[in-house]
Structure 1
């Protein structure tokens, strides 16, 4: 099987329901495809970049398996403090290039491979058969496998699963049409994802410019840098922001220059604005991940 664009779920605010749908947890990690051929293993990212160097622990586990197959799944690191997958820890792991640092990371925070699809077994290409059958084949194939290889679970009730995700602060839920084949990319209406979002009321303290134009707002939460938000700003709102009084300096808001603002051109607001933003999570460094502006004091979005 040649490299290809993995099938990806389409973002939705409401999951489809009915007997034709199967539901799975959305794991907050990095998509990994594994090409296994009797001890020879090739790992690929969602963009089909080689990941063998990054995840020797997964290579070692997959090398022990006999047979030829192509697996699709998510590589995750579980945060010992919360028990939840940590995207930030996966980002840190994925950026490592020094073999010694990678070995230490493997020992300290092992990666788990959460399998949700099998695309080939032997010489048989399974992408054209229904998802329910591919998953059954995956269950048979992986029945005796051990950690760090795991087969994901399936659920029939999206409402109960979503309540659990919300209560336990997991990333979201995937809905998959049971009879769907495996199609590349998002050219389909068969896989959907709903992500949990959190809301924060924070302050906008600066306007970041790019080539002289408004690009984003600088956020502050309890006196600490909270990141930048650009999603939700349209051209009309940007024009109104340029009319606000500025003239403060960075020291009026932060102790030192946050890493995300180094070399940035920022106009510091004379009076901070209260804004409502949504995002995926707050990272360990105190920044809001994937922020989006919902409301802005005194300005209609």
Structure 2
């Protein structure tokens, strides 16, 4: 018996989460969505786009293959940063891209994957997707009773304000809200799951302008003398016209002792004077780069 491909249910991004007794809340784990089809020792892992993932996560396959029964689980695969204890999206990206078996084994030993379980879609011959979330959760709790790491049941919370305060204070990705009565629907064709993400703000220096095929593509960010990544989101054509007027005859040495790795082969016009900017982003990677940056202020240039 095999799993038939489908589009996993996804939460809808919002700035204000719903509240009330009909909702429960979970941490948003910053990893890769993984669906696990387990059939009496046989395991099939799939990505959100239904790509096979057994090769990438042999550690999860090994653990799941030892579990009895037939079931389909929806969850998030994460790697926890050894220093912060938080999920590292960068480490997950590195693992997911590996294809060489020896490199994957090395990654398994160095950065083991944890599997956060948050939904049960099928057990035995019974499809649970038309059941309420509360019922699916109850069945998942019964199924996972006694399971040990790297399998973890996603915690649930009722106090959305308290959870949001904790998330922002500790720098986690955000919160997912789920309607207790919700059925499992494919994609985002629903009003039952929502997510709210935290946003970080940073003051940066814009050191250079990156051109591509004769057009302004993005900006080079510098923070405290270090390369902070590229940013293009938030730039419109009016802003780009203003950026064209800025004197840009400096060399890379005005900003960096050597050209940062992420700027190799790019056409960069280094500004004579850095431009003060303010950006938002999701998090700072282990390489010191800002994820999902967006310009919200640019040295007085109206955005």
Provide the residue aligned with 1:144 in structure 2. 146
Provide the residue aligned with 2:227 in structure 1. 225
Provide the residue aligned with 1:157 in structure 2. 159
Provide the residue aligned with 2:69 in structure 1. 67
Identify the match of residue 58 of structure 1 among 54, 57, 60.
60
TM-score in terms of structure 2 length: 0.97
TM-score in terms of structure 1 length: 0.97
Once the two structures are superposed, the pairs formed by residues 206-217 of structure 1 within 5 Å of their partners are: 206-217=208-219
Once the two structures are superposed, the pairs formed by residues 65-214 of structure 1 within 5 Å of their partners are: 65-214=67-216
> C-alpha displacement at 1:256, in angstroms?
1.8
> C-alpha displacement at 1:266, in angstroms?
1.4
* Alignment partners' CA distance in 2, 1:297 and 1:7: 41
Residues 47-97 of structure 1, C-alpha deviations (whole Å, 9 max, x = no match): 111110111110001001111111000011111211111111111221222
Three-state SS of the structure 2 residue aligned to 1:247 is coil
Instruction: Give the paired residue count.
Output: 301
Q: After the TM superposition, list the runs of 4 or more consecutive aligned residues in structure 1 that deviate by more than 2 angstroms.
A: none
Residues 234-269 of structure 1, C-alpha deviations (whole Å, 9 max, x = no match): 111111111211111222211222222111111111
Residues 269-293 of structure 1, C-alpha deviations (whole Å, 9 max, x = no match): 1111110011111111110011011
* Alignment partners' CA distance in 2, 1:171 and 1:296: 26
Q: Does 1:286 align with 2:265?
A: no
> C-alpha displacement at 1:206, in angstroms?
0.9
* Alignment partners' CA distance in 1, 2:93 and 2:283: 14
Q: Does 1:43 align with 2:64?
A: no
Identify the match of residue 244 of structure 1 among 243, 246, 250.
246
Identify the match of residue 21 of structure 1 among 16, 20, 23.
23
Three-state SS of the structure 2 residue aligned to 1:54 is coil
Q: Does 1:253 align with 2:265?
A: no
Three-state SS of the structure 2 residue aligned to 1:93 is helix
Three-state SS of the structure 1 residue aligned to 2:54 is coil
> C-alpha displacement at 1:10, in angstroms?
1.2
Instruction: List runs of 5+ in structure 2 lacking aligned partners.
Output: none
* Alignment partners' CA distance in 2, 1:184 and 1:10: 12
> C-alpha displacement at 1:233, in angstroms?
0.8
CA RMSD in angstroms comes to 1.1
